[in-house]
Structure 1
Amino acid sequence: MPILEGCRALFEYTAQVQPWHSACADISRAAWSPDALVGFDLETTSPDPRTARIVSFSVVEVHRNGSRVPLVEGLVDPGVTIPDSASAVHGISTAHARQFGMNHELAVERIHAAISAAWARGLALAIYNAPYDLTVMKHCRLGGFSVRGAVVDPLVLSRMFCRRGSHTLAAVAESYGVELAAAHDSSSDAVAAAELGLLFTDLASGLSGWSTTGDIMKVQRALAVAQQIRRARLGDQLGWPQLGDVAA
């Protein structure tokens, strides 16, 4: 699949960029050849990750052979009223979440534990629009949430591979023949993110500057922040894989 000349230049540029996270120096030197990715998705109360509360979540390990291992998932009582606009997206009402959902703080800690364990095993997270979900975690968890392992963001990579048109998860999944059983269902979205992540890392595997986890983090960060800068409004936070880690 063709790659924009600008993307090629960016690969060369990112070789000069500082390591993506000083806390991950050992991880960033590891060779990049994933047999599995851990898909992660949140459904929430708001499009603003600084104020959103979690309504449902899924962390699922997806292997190249097609096997899927749910690590943790659940429905959550966000402790606030779910706006009608949010319910219209994911189909979860305030009444349903209050009756059947788990405690919000408990859910956040379960997510944190599952992600931390995956990173400790050397697995990368696959998150569609990673700055949203990881920034939600940073603001929802007491003590914050630090990125301590590799992240693959199929939204960033779909733009790198010059796909035209809509870049919603549903549109990109359809373009690449990846099943999305139910858009805005956290489990379906997490699985689709992981499958797209595996597909895109295969497409990128022959590129120079894409041989270690450090490489893929630097390239995605540079691409994502460049895109954010083009669209930024006054006061917007910048950064990848979390918002706020790049000065505006």
Structure 2
Amino acid sequence: MSWHLGRLCGFDLETTGVDVENDRIVTACVVQCGGGHPVQSATWMADPGVEIPEGAAAVHGITTERARSEGRPAAEVVEQVVAALAECVLAGQPVVAMNASFDPTIVDREARRYGVQPLTDIVGDGLRVVDPRVLDKAVDKFRRGGRKLEDLCRHYEVALDGAHSADADAIAACRVAWRIASREPRIGGASLEQLHGWQVEWARQQAESLADYFRRTPGKEHQADGVRTEWPLIPQQRGSEVRP
């Protein structure tokens, strides 16, 4: 059976920012969908233990005050998110995550921050990730327009209710991945191992293309050095310590 016709594990975070080494989880969702079974969704709100910048709160709607009053301890949330992901991976489900080098890396750093066993230590080389953004750019490289989740949902005619909430984004990412696999026989017909390997290479090529664009664009040259080519997990930099 084609991978997209089986069970999918959608995964999404909303965070305090976009720095994978230092920013923190605010909300998280791990959702299991497809395969002819009912949707199962687990969501969390964490008290990240740091201030949530106004810019981040404007995106996902969670202020520092709300996280402190309604959120659970960050270490507890991280442990449960890792456990939920591990359960899905060990059951053979691909983890579907939009712009996947971000969310798995944030979870990895948060796990190390709180002394939780990282996902990759639990599942070994069994992690298989599907990134709708990488797939879309690979199959439709020259299409004009944005490539954010909202853009892909419009293009692939997928409903997105409540954008920038972790649960809505996780389910929408699964639907977009399903649409791409349904339309593209090479994607839908690949094994998860094949597809994961292809995405590693596609993500590298896409990142290198972006860095080259920055180098050639006046005023954006400085952004080129910040582009990372690793996917789906950015290795921790040598000499870099996870801050408590």
Q: Distance in 1 between matches of 2:71 and 2:52?
A: 13
Distance 1:235 1:170 in 2: 24
Matching of residue 35 in structure 1 with residue 6 in structure 2: yes
Is 1:148 aligned with 2:126? yes
CA distance in 2, matches of 1:60, 1:42: 12
The whole-number CA distance in structure 1 between the counterparts of 2:97 and 2:4 is 18
**One of 170, 180, 184 as aligned partner of 2:150:** 170
State the alpha-carbon separation in 2 of the partners of residues 95 and 170 from structure 1.
28
Identity value in percent? 31
**Cα displacement string for residues 4-63 of structure 1 (whole angstroms, at most 9, x for unaligned residues):** xxxxxxxxxxxxxxxxxxxxxxxxxx9745422111000000111221100000000111
Structure 2 residue 209 is the aligned partner of structure 1 residue 230: yes
How many correspondences in the alignment? 215
1:126–1:197 CA contact under 8 A, matched in 2: yes
Q: Which runs of 5+ in 1 are unaligned?
A: 1-29
The verdict on how the C-alpha distance between 1:90 and 1:66 changes in structure 2, with shifts beyond 3 A counting, is: farther
Distance in 1 separating the partners of 2:59 and 2:17 = 10
d(CA) in 2 for partners of 1:208, 1:235: 30
2:21 — aligned with what?
50
CA gap 1:132/1:111 in 2 versus in 1, 3 angstroms? same
Mapping for residues 6-25 of structure 1, pairs under 5 Å: none
Alpha-carbon shift at residue 145 of structure 1 (Å): 3.8
Seen in structure 2, the aligned counterparts of structure 1 residues 111 and 165 have a Cα distance that, compared at 3 Å, is: same
d(CA) in 2 for partners of 1:124 and 1:93? Answer: 32
Deviation at residue 235 of structure 1 after TM alignment: 5.2
Question: 1:216-243 CA deviation, whole Å, 9 max, x = no partner?
Answer: 0111111111111122322543211112
3-state SS of 1:156 partner: helix
Amino acid at match of 1:168: K
- Say whether the 8 Å CA contact 1:36–1:198 is kept in structure 2: no
Does the CA-based 8 Å contact 2:204-2:231 persist in structure 1?
yes
Which residues of 2 match residues 103-114 of structure 1 at below 5 A? Answer: 103-114=73-84
Q: What is the aligned partner in structure 2 of residue 198 from structure 1?
A: 178
The TM-score with structure 2 as length reference comes to 0.81
Q: CA deviation at 1:125?
A: 0.8
**Paired letter, 1:61:** Q
Three-state SS of the structure 1 residue aligned to 2:126 is coil
Alpha-carbon offset, residue 108 of structure 1 = 0.7
Say what the alpha-carbon RMSD is for the aligned residues.
2.3
Q: Check conservation: 2:45, 2:72, Cα contact below 8 A.
A: yes
Whether the 8 Å CA contact 2:8–2:32 is kept in 1: the answer is yes
Q: Which amino acid aligns with 1:42?
A: L
Give 1:195 shift: 1.0
Q: What corresponds to 2:214 in structure 1?
A: none
Q: Which runs of 5+ in 2 are unaligned?
A: 212-223, 237-244
Instruction: Tell me which moved more, 219-228 or 90-99.
Output: 219-228
**SS of the residue aligned with 1:131?**
coil
Rounded Cα–Cα distance in structure 2 between residues aligned with 1:185 and 1:208: 28
d(CA) in 2 for partners of 1:36, 1:208: 16
Are the counterparts in 2 of residues 37 and 197 from structure 1 also a CA contact under 8 Å? no
Higher relative contact order (CA 8 A, sep 6+): 1
Aligned twin of 1:213: 192
Identify the residue that residue 232 of structure 2 maps to in structure 1.
Answer: 241
Q: Are 1:237 and 1:244, in contact at CA under 8 Å, matched by a contact in 2?
A: no
Shift of 1:154: 0.3
Q: What aligned pairs does 1:46-125 form with structure 2 within 5 A after superposition?
A: 46-63=17-34, 65=36, 67-70=38-41, 72-125=42-95
